[in-house]
Structure 1
Amino acid sequence: MDRPELPLPQLHAFTVLAEELHFGRAAARLGIAQPPLSQQIARLEAKVGHPLFVRGPGRVALSAAGRELLPSARRALVGLADGLAAARAVGSGRAGRLRIGFSASLALTVLPGVLRTFRERFPAVELDIREMTTAPQLAALYEDAVDVGLLREPPPAGEAGSLGFRTVLTEPFVAVLPSDHPLAARRTVGVGTLAEEPFVLFPRAVGPGLYDRIGEVCGSVGFAPRIVQHAVEWQTVCALVGAGLGVSLAPASIRRIRLRGVAFRAVEPGTVRTRVAVAWRRDDPNPLVARLLEVVGTG
């Protein structure tokens, strides 16, 4: 059996008349003339199949059917109002859900400040934070699995495709050394002094941009790093260095990882830096993406 549709204007007119119990006052409150109000009520009564009001000389009262309908009518109108408010909030970028991918090392630098500022400005937004290395972040962006990425060494502009990138910060590299290594006695370490050392580094597949950048840094002083051990996370890289398996080059923020047996030293030339960027789909209609880009731009 088909359910009759109850237009919301008729429900609104019904609830106002139920509260006023006077056609003149209800019409004034609705901003319409009394005849159109009477027509709205008559149409609603026709759909219900029973009178909703008992009309008498100088008085209007709810019928039994009217008393039964009133709570549902009010719930429907409140639900619509709530839905409209929620839709406006999401459409304006004040509410909704934002999926953010981030490289683990950024938890040591830019990520906490970005998230704190965003939460302060947009407390109604649900944040879905996902730790991912750079290559999986790029794949997730292309596949619409995340909305925004915070990553290191984005691909060159010619390889960006549908993605946009904006530099958030740059930071220098540091040498990661066993604390008992002879080079750990120095305040700064020339990159060239690492030429004969075994390296611990992440696989290129998880972060090709940063992997290649480290290769460029070494290549600029005449050597390619001899990688003897791979690890996906920087904390693991540092732990393996502390265990004596080799040395590494890492972004300076990695110094915040405190591990026994590991020393971090500034490298020369000091102008060598790595880039952190925010990434997004340029055609993404989600207004929350623009809100996060605003935060990153002002953070």
Structure 2
Amino acid sequence: MESRHLRYALALAEHQHFGRAAASLGIAQPPLSTQIAAVEREVGERLFDRTPRGVFPTAAGTAFLARARRALGEMTAAAVEAGRAARGETGQLRMGFIGSALLDPLPGVLGRFRRARPDVRLDLREVNSPDGTAALVAGELDVAVGRGTPRGARVDGLVTVPIGADHLVAVVGTAHPFAGRAEIRLEQLAAERLIMSAPTQEPAVAARLHDLFGAGAAALDAATVSRDIHTIIGLAACDVGVGLGPARMRLVTRKDVWFCDIAPRVRLPDLQLSFRAADDSPVLAAFLDIVRANCAEVGSRLDDVLARREARSVKP
């Protein structure tokens, strides 16, 4: 039994006349009569009473028509939902990110994506960069935002684009001698009590600091380590020491801290967005479109990737 058979039966029940029903369907009356009879044989019950006054559903026909109406409705809904899924309007996006990305650029990206795709479920997890890469490679995430180039097994199957450049800044409490200064010299930090991210949380930043101070620097050995940049800022406000972190920390507004540039400027590894090259999910494609519109740093590389993905999706 095909969907057209259900439509034929519903049209006959509506018009109560084979001729009028056939006209509404755009077919001749004899084929309609033949198809209705075939449906009745398949069902095994008489669905319509043919009378001089018209054609009316039997009790069996009434029950059949109720199901037929629901079935056609479900078929229509299925086609609509399939189209929405193909356009990336429904589904799920699993993203891992480091905490500092929540200052910039993720608020703009996620906010715009949520408004554009309200029916896509976002599964968001804060993870450090190595764990995010590992989960992405394992298929547990669709997108990972971390600092620096992904490393580890099977990363050659990932596409990685920069979404934010950054440099090192210092943060101190307003009672600290550095408060009020526009910048401080790198060598001045060696004599200070430092606050920095734990190497497990921001390994790229920790590695950069060790390059600057030397692996055995007393300042780093005695540093207070924290889980995230908000803790670094909070500890600096408590006058525990000089906090070190990415410049996007300045986006945290507090009256009890002061941010200083460090001279010479220390470039940190870029924030990077990664996804699996073989992932052709429409939801991911929609998300990457938002990233491209919000993050100037992605450059032509993401444009090239999106163009290739679009070309693969076009059917002959």
- TM bin, normalised by shorter chain, reads 0.7 to 0.9
Q: Aligned in 2, Cα 1:242/1:162: closer, same or farther, shift over 3 Å?
A: same
Of the candidates 68, 74, 77, which is equivalent to residue 82 of structure 1?
77
**Counterpart of 2:286 in structure 1: which amino acid?**
R
Correspondences of 1:53-202 after superposition (within 5 Å) = 53-57=48-52, 59-155=54-150, 160-202=155-197
**Counterpart of 1:291 in structure 2: which amino acid?**
A
SS in 1 for 2:11: helix
Tell me the distance in 2 between the aligned counterparts of 1:187 and 1:40.
Answer: 85
Displacement of 1:157 in angstroms is 10
Residues 152-171 of structure 1 show CA distances to partners (whole Å, capped at 9, x for unaligned) of: 22326997332211111212
Tell me the distance in 2 between the aligned counterparts of 1:297 and 1:258.
Answer: 27
Displacement of 1:223 in angstroms is 9.2
Tell me the distance in 2 between the aligned counterparts of 1:295 and 1:22.
Answer: 55
Q: Is 1:241 equivalent to 2:240 in the alignment?
A: no
TM-score (norm 1): 0.85
What's the counterpart of residue 220 of structure 2?
225
2:137·2:154 contact (CA, 8 Å) conserved in 1? Answer: no
Tell me the distance in 1 between the aligned counterparts of 2:161 and 2:19.
Answer: 61
**Counterpart of 2:227 in structure 1: which amino acid?**
V
Q: Aligned in 2, Cα 1:211/1:160: closer, same or farther, shift over 3 Å?
A: farther
Of the candidates 242, 249, 267, which is equivalent to residue 262 of structure 2?
267
**Counterpart of 2:39 in structure 1: which amino acid?**
L
Displacement of 1:233 in angstroms is 1.4
Displacement of 1:245 in angstroms is 3.6
SS in 2 for 1:182: coil
**Counterpart of 2:59 in structure 1: which amino acid?**
A
2:94·2:142 contact (CA, 8 Å) conserved in 1? Answer: yes
**Counterpart of 1:184 in structure 2: which amino acid?**
A
**Structure 1 unaligned blocks of 5 or more:** 1-5
Q: Aligned in 2, Cα 1:166/1:217: closer, same or farther, shift over 3 Å?
A: farther
Displacement of 1:258 in angstroms is 4.2
**Identical positions, percent:** 35
CA RMSD of aligned residues (A): 2.7
Q: Aligned in 2, Cα 1:101/1:35: closer, same or farther, shift over 3 Å?
A: farther
Q: Aligned in 2, Cα 1:87/1:159: closer, same or farther, shift over 3 Å?
A: closer
SS in 2 for 1:74: helix
SS in 2 for 1:78: helix
1:215·1:224 contact (CA, 8 Å) conserved in 2? Answer: no
Residues matched between the structures, number: 292
Tell me the distance in 2 between the aligned counterparts of 1:271 and 1:285.
Answer: 37
Displacement of 1:49 in angstroms is 1.6
Tell me the distance in 2 between the aligned counterparts of 1:29 and 1:166.
Answer: 57
Tell me the distance in 1 between the aligned counterparts of 2:150 and 2:232.
Answer: 23
Q: Is 1:285 equivalent to 2:280 in the alignment?
A: yes
Tell me the distance in 2 between the aligned counterparts of 1:27 and 1:67.
Answer: 20
What's the counterpart of residue 18 of structure 2?
23
Q: Is 1:10 equivalent to 2:5 in the alignment?
A: yes
Q: Aligned in 2, Cα 1:228/1:249: closer, same or farther, shift over 3 Å?
A: closer
Displacement of 1:135 in angstroms is 2.6
Tell me the distance in 2 between the aligned counterparts of 1:233 and 1:249.
Answer: 11
Residues 178-233 of structure 1 show CA distances to partners (whole Å, capped at 9, x for unaligned) of: 433323342101222212333322222233233323434546xx998335322211
What's the counterpart of residue 198 of structure 2?
203
Tell me the distance in 2 between the aligned counterparts of 1:25 and 1:154.
Answer: 70
Moved more, 261-270 or 27-36: 27-36
**Counterpart of 2:232 in structure 1: which amino acid?**
V
Q: Aligned in 2, Cα 1:216/1:24: closer, same or farther, shift over 3 Å?
A: farther
**Structure 2 unaligned blocks of 5 or more:** 295-316
**Counterpart of 1:186 in structure 2: which amino acid?**
R
Residues 71-92 of structure 1 show CA distances to partners (whole Å, capped at 9, x for unaligned) of: 2211111111112111110112
Moved more, 21-30 or 113-122: 21-30
SS in 1 for 2:178: helix
TM-score (norm 2): 0.81
Q: Aligned in 2, Cα 1:267/1:47: closer, same or farther, shift over 3 Å?
A: same
